[in-house]
Amino acid sequence: MTPLKNLFFNMMAGLILVIGLAFPLSAQTSEQARSYYDSWLRTAERAEDVIDTSRASNIALEQLRKDLTDYRQTFQTKRSENGDRIQTLQGQLDALGPAPAEGESEPEDIALLREALTKQLNQLRVPRIVAEEAYSRADGLINEIDKIVRDRLTRRLLERGPSPLNPEHWQQALRDMGVAIRSIGNETVSQLRNDTTGERIRGDLVGILALLILAVLLILRGRPWAHRAGDFLRGYGAKGTGVWTFVVSLLQVFLPLVGIIILAAAIDLSGILGVRGSIFLDAMPAWAFIILSFHWMGERLYAARIENDLFPIDDRYQSETRFLIWAMAVVLVVQDALATLEGIQNITESSIAVFSFPLIVAAALILLRLNRIGSKQRQAQEAQSEEGDESAIAAGANRVISVIRRATYLLGFAAPVLAALGYMNAAEALIYPAMLTLAVLAGLFVLQRFFSDLYGFVTGKGAAANDTLFSALIGFALALLALPVLALIWGARVADLTELWSNFLKGFQIGDTNISPTAFITFVAVFAIGYAVTRMVQGSLRNTLLPKTRIDLGGQNAIVSGMGYVGIFLAALIAISMAGLDLSSLAIVAGALSVGIGFGLQTIVSNFVSGIILLVERPVSKGDWIEVGGLMGYVRDISVRSTRIETFDRTDVIVPNSDLITGTVTNYTRGNTVGRVIVPVGVAYGTDPRKVEAILIEVAKSHPMVLMNPAPSVVFQGFGADSLDFEIRAILRDVNWVLSVKSDMNYDIARRFEEAGIEIPFAQRDIWIRNPETLAQAAGQAPAAGQGASSGKSGSAWSGGSSKPPKPDLDDLTQRDDSDSTTKDDGDDGDD
């Protein structure tokens, strides 16, 4: 160890003593803290030596990394302790004002208080400084170990070994395989000949036989029992939703798997296998699980009954597809068995390459064939979508599968080529993860369908639940959960995932504020609670408290809306405070954003401020009858940005709040509903005006909606062109009924005028035609002598003794400049 390192470690040991003195802890606690820190220093020194030599195995490096991660987590917790206390002490020092400059003095009491506060503050800061330094050191060592491990994995991936196509390696491979098989067989035979094994079997014979019988029953009868369980469960409902079918399919995997586990336990209990055989026996349940689960996925994806298919496909490809999926499981199991054999038997690298190459070729052929069938599936799906029969899940699934299918198609070609060239590790790192990726994605689609079916069963929606938002959200959640699994499949280390999770929990820094997922979740939870409480208070005010007061409807709406704004604002402030977010460092950024918002969103801000003014000043309230911008209707809702007006046509018009503040608004019911109605009426010339006035006064006063104070009146407007014009002007109790009142009065006026013999005139006109002879000439007839004009009522005399004038040629008439017709008002309301 260098002198610099010795000096550094001695300083750290001294600082750890300060840590023990910084808090009112017992001597035992201080001793534990010092012992822990000494252990950390030894671990850090050992890690630096291992990194410098870079000779440790990957397993040793992973264990060392785990120890460093534990220390780092502890230091991360310690460096954030006493934050509130430090902030309090700093506030006390700030309250004392700035320290006096050199040569200046301050009162003795203040000086002593400043010295004590400064000492306490330094004592609290020292542990945090030490923890911060230790955290940084641990983090750096972890990064260096990760770099070493990644470099080794990269070199191994790109390492080129012997080619499996070289015939020289084939004979050696056969010899190695024979030796391995004989070794396992000899171990088993040796165990069977051993007297201890015989005694063990005889002593546990009953238990072994019971386990064997139970295992055989579960393996052979597990699937029929699962079907019987499904028939029993369907008695509880949910028939046709697919829920119990999914449960039955899981039982078909679970029961035989339990039987295989029991079988392995029985064989292990007998002790007939040696060391190598026991290793294979321990892996047998995992291999059985792979084969059974792939078989299960094949049936769930491509069921024998077309109505249960997750991805409908032509009947002739269903059996082949299920077989290919099962074959994928067999290849994965054989590959894992070969890797296990390589770990327990001394087999040369060339022999491993010879044995691995056929498996890689078989996996590539499976992927290529699945790609071919998948292309046919896509064509069938496109034909279905044209007919409108494709479900939302199937459509989304096919889009994802289409991308994965193209990728696996390329890997199906690349992996055998790499293996043939000797890059066996690279080929295995491509082909087997591709198969497992397909399996994981298939499992996600199956689980999504199950949860959708379960949701349809619970809500009663049935198969329609597959096209709901819940199904999409479940798919998204399952995809997020599958990301770590896919990362591990493609070579990521568990340490890499834990490091990502640690960085995620640590959050990110913005100025002096640390935004972490914990703070974000706290903010969302507190704000959601505050928002819910605000809505509950608003509901209580709107439905319980305010209706019992004398406040009008518009005032009640203003109070409820204002309470909502205040509640949400307070909920946001409390949420920010509870989350521990310090937004003071964001003041400059917020100022710049406010300028940008002021220019870019000035219309929205204007409407928002106008909405506040409407709620406070209340020139327009909910329920008012208003007219703005040529629109007339009732105010139904005043929100932050706009106001909703319901017109008399029962249509909603959204008016920006700024139009109600800056424009001209007519409010017919502001403050009260009293309003005036005007009913015009005309009578024929020669009618007694006083008689008309008396009748109209009676009509107005007889209506129940008309107020007597002020009393209704009748106005004689003047002498019109056709009539004497009068108006009824009356004040109504509720102006909202103005149209009904006007209609009732008109009905009453018509009845009373008819009883009194008063005529309501209508406009009449006399038509005079100049130069009627031109019409006769146009018709080929001569007009009667001395005929100069014809009354529109009696007609003209025409030659030929005909009582009806001939029809003129209008086309010829319009081309003559000297013939025209004029309309003349004779001012007579009587007969022509």
Residue 615: the pLDDT is 75
Do residues 9 and 144 both lie within one domain?
yes
Identify whether residues 703 and 792 lie together within a single domain.
no
Asked if residue 394 has pLDDT above 60, the reply is: no
Query: Does 745 share its domain with 807?
Result: no
pLDDT tens, position by position, 587-632: 555 666 666 666 666 777 777 788 778 777 778 888 888 888 888 8
Whether residues 442 and 368 fall in one domain = yes
Q: Do 458 and 351 share a structural domain?
A: yes
Residue 158 vs residue 517, higher pLDDT? 158
Residue 746 lies in a domain: yes
Q: Which of 135, 157, 179 is the last residue in one of the domains?
A: 157
CB 409 within 8 A of CB 368: yes
Q: Pick the residue with more confidence: 512 or 288?
A: 288
Would you say residue 483 lies in a domain? Answer: yes
Same domain, 76 and 102: yes
Q: Which of the listed residues 467, 492, 517 is the one where a domain comes to its end?
A: 492
The CA R_g of the chain, rounded to the nearest whole Å, is 48
Domain boundary among 128, 157, 186: 157
Give domain status of residue 269, yes or no: no
726 and 715 Cβ atoms separated by less than 8 Å:
yes
More confident residue, 457 or 711: 711
Q: Which amino acid is at 599?
A: F
Residue 238 has a pLDDT of: 54
191 occurs within a structural domain? no
Q: Is residue 195 part of a domain?
A: no
Q: Which of 177, 155, 168, 167 is nearest to 342 (CA)?
A: 177
Closest to 736 in 3D by CA, of 812, 809, 669, 806: 669
Residue 687: how many CB atoms within 10 A of its CB?
19
CB contact at 8 A, 652 and 642: no
Tell whether 36 and 137 lie within a shared domain.
yes
Kindly state whether residues 681 and 787 are assigned to the same domain.
Answer: no
Phi, psi angle pair for 149, to nearest 5°: -65, -40
Per-residue pLDDT of 664-708, as tens digits, reads 888 888 777 788 899 999 999 989 999 999 999 999 999 999 988
State CA 14 to chain mean position distance. Answer: 53
Q: What's the whole-number mean pLDDT along residues 445-453?
A: 83
The alpha-helical segments, DSSP class H, found in 194-204 are 195-203
Residue type, 697: I
Nearest to 498 by CA among 157, 154, 142: 142
> Is the sign of the CA dihedral 644, 645, 651, 654 positive or negative?
negative
Mean pLDDT of the chain: 78
Q: How many domains does the chain have?
A: 4
CATH code of the domain containing 725: 3.30.70.100
Domain around 477: 315-492
Q: What percent of the chain has pLDDT over 70?
A: 79
pLDDT band for 213, please (50, 70, 90 cuts): very high
Find the length of the chain.
832
pTM of the model: 0.63
More confident of the two residues 361 and 22: 361
pLDDT of residue 599: 65
831 lies in the same domain as 685: no
The more confidently predicted of residues 20 and 620 is: 620
Q: Is residue 257 part of a domain?
A: no
Give me the pLDDT at residue 8, please: 40
How many whole angstroms from its chain centre is CA 354?
A: 51
Percentages helix, strand, coil for the chain (3-state, rounded to 5) are 70, 10, 20
Q: What is the pLDDT of residue 773?
A: 73
Beta bridge partners of 715: 727
Establish if 794 belongs to a structural domain. Answer: yes
Query: Is residue 497 in a domain?
Result: no
Q: What is the dihedral of CA 170, 173, 179, 185, to 10 degrees?
A: -100
Q: Are residues 347 and 384 in the same domain?
A: yes
Closest CA to 113 of 135, 95, 87: 95
Decide if pLDDT at 331 tops 90: yes
- For the cut 60, the answer to whether the pLDDT of residue 830 exceeds it is no
Tens digits of per-residue pLDDT, 238-295? 555 667 778 888 888 888 899 999 999 988 888 888 888 888 889 999 999 999 988 8
Percentage above 90 pLDDT, the chain: 11
Through-space distance between the first and last CA atoms of the chain, rounded to whole angstroms: 133
* CA angle, residues 257, 261, 266, in degrees to nearest 5: 145
Q: Are 729 and 778 contained in the same domain?
A: no
Shared domain check, 811 and 734: no
What residues form DSSP beta bridges with 635?
A: 645
